[in-house]
Structure 1
Amino acid sequence: MKEDYKKYADEVVQLRHYFHQHPELSNQEIETTEKIKEILTGWGIKIIPTELETGLVAEIKGESKGATIALRADIDALPVEERTDLAFKSESEGIMHACGHDLHITSLLGAIRYFNGHKNLIKGTVRFLFQPAEETGSGANQVLAKDVLHGVQAILGFHNNPNFKTNEIALQKGPMMAGCYKFEIKISGRGSHGAKPEKGSDPIVTLGEMISSLQTIVSRNINPQDAVVVSVTRVSAGSVWNIIPGEAVLGGTVRLFKLENAELVKQRLTKIAENIAAAHDQEVSVDWEERTLPIANDAALTNAVIDNLDFKVVQPILSMAGEDFATYQKQVPGVFAFVGSNGAPDAADWHDPKFIGLDETLPTGIGYFVEGALGILNYLNT
């Protein structure tokens, strides 16, 4: 379909600047939620009551009956101090939309503006989900726990991506973003004076062996054709220069695309930690936390979206970053894409204090929501 989405982008670009200037952290998006409510109420859009503390759901029914689908945008920001020269840079100290969720909010608002004037194109119902707390990995779980998606047959979302140009949409069936897992290993030894190591049981030596051995999980247990990352990102032990501590802690993250690899990594990580600790007559505890699942796009719905997009669709670069959109896909088939938001060779990436998502992203973001939604409705109603 052919449509000039720039006029809808022009309507919401100042709103984008407002949201960028007033970012709020996960589960604290109170003013953001109120601003979205104010906008939608002014447009005459129905807001569905929910038990969500932040975030909201709106709805537009078409002129004919059909399927019910949801379009999702996340609304939270990050604890990052902005270091850009944008005229609309963050006014909140230490908080920034360093992942570009302000672009997601306003792309969805632009899509709502479009659908409010084109209800004749909707065969069914479109719900608009403004989701809190994506950055903590808990927002989608909150939405599902409150039964907000009851009756929804498919869900559509995207994440801006500064590695692509603003007129590009990166999309494919199957994997898009990795599952994200967090681990922490606590080693309990026995402290002693640094001059008398034989009097204790040094957990720092054990920690060092574990860090090296954990790297064999990928190199010697995972199919080389599978993408898996095991990263130790935090170590803690001791506080005095001449005392061997009684405890040491290491933590990190695992990223992967296949669920079966998650169980394999968890088993190997636990066994390595336990066996190395046992070799030193020490005790260990392992905490494993699933933060986000891998995103895997429904094949049929993805084809329906791509076939209806009047944009340049390119091959995605699989991302090891996590996104809790995958949580919805456990219950509802969905499609998730990357929408280009910069494209410059030196563009700062997500979570960087110098991240810049361009306003020119908005027409493509709006168009993706509109055309993707109509493609899915056409498929479901056939």
Structure 2
Amino acid sequence: MTETQTDTQTKTGFYEKLVAYRRELHTHPELSAKEFATTERIRYWLTEEGVTILDFPLETGLIAEIVGALPGPTIALRADIDALPVKEATGLPFASETEGLMHACGHDYHTASMIGAAILLQGKKASLKGTVRFIFQPAEEIAQGAKWVEESGALKEVSAIFGMHNKPDLPVGTIGIREGGLMASADRFELEIHGVGGHAGIPDSTIDPIVIASQIITGLQTIISRNTSPFHNAVISVTQIHGGNSWNVIPEKVYLEGTVRAFQKEDREKIPELMRRAAEGIASGFGAVADFRWHPYVSIVDNDVRFKAILAETAEEQGYRFVEPKPVAGGEDFAHYQTLIPGFFVFMGVEGTREWHHPEFNLKEEALAVAADYFAALAIKVLDQWKA
């Protein structure tokens, strides 16, 4: 057998291993904070490859590490491991065996790919200039896992962090690299309007919270158009409204709930107060009371410009195409890491069948080897060129 044939066979075996990992994870999805079997599978596969597992106090998820033979900084590569409460409708032979649960966001792909990157880097320890820490993070879908990783101490001594999300509308071999805001902050609000209920035929004896709620909903929309820069991106969406239980009774109160998404930090900071002021002012004008409650959820995925060139260079050197993707208004708790240490998050093309969270979501498994190859090469390049 020639050297080329041996190399091809090795690559084929590596790819088949990643596919097997991904399918095993896909068949056995687990919800956020309940990824116990998933964690043990990851632990087994990494240990089998000689990768060191670190002891951090995480109930699910784990931290692994590859320490190079040469001195240098510690950087982190992150993958999320949880699934969603979605009933799978792909018809795949390795479809979920757990009723009502599915890897409908591709976290099985993220996990298998990063295990692949760890395997590749484990074989290059002798020339590695520093340490690569692998974060297999739980509970991304409920935006808690990154905080738990921080609280565990796993980010200590980490100088920078890198991660990815699959992107169904990008071809395999294409990497979306964008500095600044890539994914939006995602925050939740609640609003209760307290008026005076009464007979629907005698509205003058009431303070109608339904009419007031309608005015507030319309008023909230002007916050974006008149209080944020036309060159910024933000949206306020009221997604629930509840009030009343009879056709001939004006209710005493109305409940509203919704979300705000923003790509600029200054907008995320000022929008809640503008919403409160608008709601309270409109309600007061009608003689009612507005109770506004704000729930911060996920920060902006804000990519550090210092790393853009090295990410693009790595893509080119590995034979992949990079593009500047459009920002996405979905939330991602990788953003929490970026509030603590420099970081960069990319989109990996997977040519998906559907968008994220759809029951028929699937992806091309050729993308596994691309991500593993890319992140291993990126880690080496970052460590080689690191400047404190």
**TM bracket (short chain):** over 0.9
State the distance in 2 between where 1:247 and 1:143 align: 41
Runs (5+) with no aligned partner, structure 1: none
State the distance in 2 between where 1:121 and 1:73 align: 24
The change in CA–CA distance for 1:261 and 1:102 in structure 2 (over 3 A counts) is same
- Select 2:137's aligned residue among 131, 154, 173: 131
Q: Deviations over 1:94-134 (max 9, x none)?
A: 21111111000000111111112121231111111000111
Report the number of matched residues: 377
- Select 1:313's aligned residue among 302, 305, 322: 322
Give the counterpart letter for 2:339 in structure 1: K
1:158–1:338 contact (8 Å) kept in structure 2: yes
- Select 1:276's aligned residue among 282, 294, 299: 282
The change in CA–CA distance for 1:6 and 1:245 in structure 2 (over 3 A counts) is farther
Q: Which residue of structure 2 lines up, in the alignment, with residue 235 of structure 1? A: 241
TM-score, normalisation: structure 1 = 0.94
Q: Which residue of structure 2 lines up, in the alignment, with residue 77 of structure 1? A: 83
Matched, 1:167 2:173: yes
Q: Which aligned pairs between 1:40-119 and structure 2 lie closer than 5 A?
A: 40-119=46-125
Q: Deviations over 1:272-321 (max 9, x none)?
A: 11011111211111111221111121122222222223221112121111
The change in CA–CA distance for 1:113 and 1:314 in structure 2 (over 3 A counts) is same
Deviation at 1:64, TM superposition (A): 1.1
Deviation at 1:373, TM superposition (A): 1.1
1:179–1:293 contact (8 Å) kept in structure 2: yes
Q: Secondary structure at the match of 2:350?
A: strand
State the distance in 2 between where 1:361 and 1:246 align: 55
Deviation at 1:32, TM superposition (A): 0.9
Q: Which residue of structure 2 lines up, in the alignment, with residue 325 of structure 1? A: 334
1:173–1:303 contact (8 Å) kept in structure 2: no
Deviation at 1:183, TM superposition (A): 1.1
Q: Which residue of structure 2 lines up, in the alignment, with residue 145 of structure 1? A: 151
2:314–2:374 contact (8 Å) kept in structure 1: no
Matched, 1:181 2:187: yes
Q: Secondary structure at the match of 2:170?
A: strand
Identity in percent: 42
Q: Relative to structure 2, which stretch is displaced further, 149-158 or 218-227?
A: 218-227
1:73–1:101 contact (8 Å) kept in structure 2: yes
Q: Secondary structure at the match of 1:172?
A: coil
Deviation at 1:50, TM superposition (A): 1.0
Q: Which residue of structure 1 lines up, in the alignment, with residue 258 of structure 2? A: 252
Give the counterpart letter for 1:123 in structure 2: K
Give the counterpart letter for 1:326 in structure 2: A
Q: Relative to structure 2, which stretch is displaced further, 186-195 or 213-222?
A: 186-195
Q: Relative to structure 2, which stretch is displaced further, 151-160 or 287-296?
A: 287-296
Deviation at 1:6, TM superposition (A): 5.6
Q: Deviations over 1:63-84 (max 9, x none)?
A: 1111101100001111111121
Q: Relative to structure 2, which stretch is displaced further, 102-111 or 211-220?
A: 211-220
- Select 1:156's aligned residue among 155, 158, 162: 162
Q: Relative to structure 2, which stretch is displaced further, 34-43 or 316-325?
A: 34-43
TM-score, normalisation: structure 2 = 0.93
State the distance in 1 between where 2:62 and 2:290 align: 43
State the distance in 1 between where 2:335 and 2:127 align: 28
Deviation at 1:381, TM superposition (A): 5.5
